[in-house]
Every structure is written in structure tokens, then in C-alpha cells.
Amino acid sequence: FAKRLQANVFMPDYRLAPEHPYPTPINDAFEAYRWLLEQGHDPGSIVFSGDSAGGAMVVSLMVAARNAGLPMPAGGVAISPWANLEHTGASMRNRDGIDPIVSKEALDLIARRFLNGALANNPEASPVFADVRGLPPILVQIGENEVMLSDAIRLATHLAENRVRTSLEVWPNMFHVWPIFADILPEGEQALVSAVRFLEDVLLR
């Protein structure tokens, strides 16, 4: 993104579970965004992007910023978002064992460690349950082989039904966070090109 958008990238080193469970990672990332604004950066020149848990955090951070009265970023890209920690989507069953990167069993364990007793349907942790009204444009990219497929589609639907400009890309045969292999995987390169095109558009609004 830095090279393709000719932009500066700020990557907050937020604390992670299990040592620092929910809501610490979200709070840390929120404070990083607040700090950027305090440094005088125009929110219209800022976009969020993340993958997996970070993909869900794209939405959760926007919700937290809106609730705190902070200005919204220009938009965001959620790649393979882990958007529903209840793991109730159909793909958690019918894609389990197909996705080579993630399994439902592993996600159940990680979710318990992350939540540390909090409810899986907490809207901060699972943005499919959040009040997303008033958020800026969001692109959701998900691989068709992912166990997270159904819940990512649910997230995109939830955003769209609440009047958030939403783009959803489902990539056939792709697995969890496939764009990370863009150097060797044509579909990864194509997904990055598409995400950059989306971000360029929202930054020019």
C-alpha cells in the first residue's frame, strides 16, 4: 500500500492476546488513531486496512471513533475479516478443512483467549453485531475457501443495510489472507490492485 499509494503507512504495535485480551488491542489501536489526529493529520487523508482480526478491527475502530466524536477516516479495506467470534456462519462447517490456513477449532481456541470471558457477540469484538451507521466506505475482501466466508458476507450485508457504502469481493478458491502472497500468487496481486483502486477513490472524494 505504501508503494502503490505513495503514502506513509503507520502500523501501531498494539498489545496482543492472550497476555493482553479484549479490549486492549482495540483500545490501543484507537489511541493510535487519536494520536494521528492530534498530530494534525487530516482524517480525509487517512484510511484503515487490516487482515483477519485486523480486518474486523477496521470496522471496530471506525465505530469507536464515531462513538468518541472523532472525525472519520476516508475509508477502509477489511481483508479476510474475523468479524463474528460466535463462528455461526455456514462456512465454519462447510469450508472447515478446505481453508489451509485457518480451522474452526483453532479459531474457537483463539476466540476464548482473546475474549477472556467477554461475550462472543460483543459488538466491539464482533462487528457483525455493531451499530455501523455513519461509517465511511469499506471494501471487504474474502476468499471463497475461507471458514470466515459466511461471516464476512454477513459483515458486508450488515454494513450495506445500514447505509454504509460497501464493496464486497469474494475471490474463488482463495484462502485466508491470500494477498500476503502477492509476490507469487496472481490472485493476491490482483486483490491488492483492487484494494488500492478502492482506496485511491475514497481518498479523492
Q: Which residues are catalytic?
A: 52, 146, 176
The string of DSSP letters for 48-88 reads: EEEETHHHHHHHHHHHHHHHTTPPPPSEEEEES----TT--
Distance of CA 17 to the CA centre of its chain: 17
The answer to whether 196 touches 5, Cβ cutoff 8 Å, is yes
CA angle 176, 197, 50 (to 5 degrees): 35
Helix (H), strand (E) at residue 33: helix 24-38
What letter represents residue 69's amino acid?
G
How far lies 126's CA from each of 40, 43, 50, 176, in Å?
Answer: 31, 25, 15, 18
The β-bridge partners of 171 are 143
CA angle 204, 47, 15 (to 5 degrees): 175
